[in-house]
Amino acid sequence: MGGDARLSVLLLLLGCFGAEPRADDDEGPLPRAVALVAAREDGRPLSVYFALEPNPRGRVDVRVTDRIALAGPRGVFTLGNGERQSDRWAVVEEVQAARVSLALPVGPAWSLQRFQPRQAWFTAATAPTMLCDLVGAACEPAETPPPALSLRRAGPAGGFRLALREGTLRFWPPHLPEGSDGERILDDVAGLLAVRWLEALPGAAVREYLDRSFRGVGRLTAISGAVELDGELGEWNASDPDVVESPWQAAVRRNWLGPHDASFSIAARATATRLCFAGRFRDDDLREGDVLTLHLGADRWALPLHPDAVADGLVLAREPFGHRFEVCRTRTPSGASVPFSALLQDRDGEDDADLLATSPLFDGRPAGALYLPP
């Protein structure tokens, strides 16, 4: 979806989120992953997928897309608001099925209220709620309200839990105590349209779809402390960097062959007046046109990496398998967090360039966040 038609539809979503969804307990096998659809505070949807097994740093790897898509072990239902050759909502893709597009008898003036793998509820200002069968493309007035979202799943030590708190979607696995802040999944969330606990990890076709269509979301935390711009990273040992080296972190993927071809890590430190970044990057063919770009809110900071065109203030130091870097700027973002993404452009050919990112940009806005100390 895109453009004025999508925005007009999705602005209506905010009226559907008067209260936080009720948390229900589901019985059954332990979940392996979570798929959900969230509405951002600007009215746009983001679909989210994450496996519950943490990565080596103890975090879950969150992936997002600006499509309305709900993944499962064997397929992915994707909804669009019918801008292509139609004025109706449609199931525009389902992995492992021949269906490419199937129009629903509800137009773009209807707003999506609830989404399940094979059913969706739509509302309009002067019409009853419609329940649509996503397999047969049949809709009829809903006789009962849509089901409450399931924000809990049974498990050891209190189980698994999702919650929306002050615009931040948080997740608690069993090892986190009830009174903790949980793990941040996504910021700027107005409400949830769908939550699906997956008891099995997706099959190969769905995993390929997720790698192709979803992107990783970095959540970088800046620690307090001064930085000496000397190319040495000793003062950064206490930092927790964001590492970008996976296929689903490639926002543009043409000739990228893996971490040895191009990859990077980035960490942040801050004082009352300065904001600094440091990390490492690998590039098997560093050339002009290779650029590290930092997006902080609406600001864009491009840092050429080639030694003959290095940006002012950027300190590079050669390592056996790549480079270290440090850079600082005046601290202008205010508040506890700012939308953030770091993007590495790797240009190996004359025209094609790969783009690795801590978080994707949707309409120029970073999906990730940088959390700042006071």
Nearby residues of 227 by Cβ (< 8 Å), 6 or more positions away:
235, 236, 269, 274, 276, 278, 326, 328
Q: Which amino acid is at 129?
A: T
The answer to whether residues 310 and 338 touch, using CB atoms and an 8 Å cutoff, is no
Q: With 0.95 as the threshold, say if the pTM is over it.
A: no
Alpha-carbon gap, residue 327 to 307, rounded angstroms:
15
Catalogue all structural domains in the chain, each as residue range(s) with its CATH number.
3-212 (no CATH), 218-371 (2.60.40.1190)
Alpha-carbon gap, residue 94 to 135, rounded angstroms:
10
- Helices of type H across the chain: 3-11, 204-213
How high is the mean pLDDT in each 10-residue block of the chain (374 residues)? 39 35 54 95 91 86 94 92 71 83 89 93 92 93 94 88 94 84 92 96 93 91 91 88 88 78 92 93 84 92 84 86 91 84 84 83 91 90
The answer to whether residues 245 and 252 touch, using CB atoms and an 8 Å cutoff, is no
Task: Return the SS3 of 236.
Answer: helix
CA distances from 96 to 55, 197, 248 (A): 28, 20, 20
Q: What is the DSSP string of 19-34?
A: SPPPP-EE-SSPP-EE
What is the per-residue pLDDT for 155? 86
Q: Give the residue from 33, 23, 44, 97 showing the smallest Cα distance to 71.
A: 33
Alpha-carbon gap, residue 366 to 151, rounded angstroms:
26
What is the per-residue pLDDT for 157? 80
153 DSSP β-pair partners: 26, 160
What is the per-residue pLDDT for 165? 92
What is the per-residue pLDDT for 116? 92
The shares of helix, strand and coil residues in the chain, as percent rounded to the nearest 5, are: 10, 45, 45
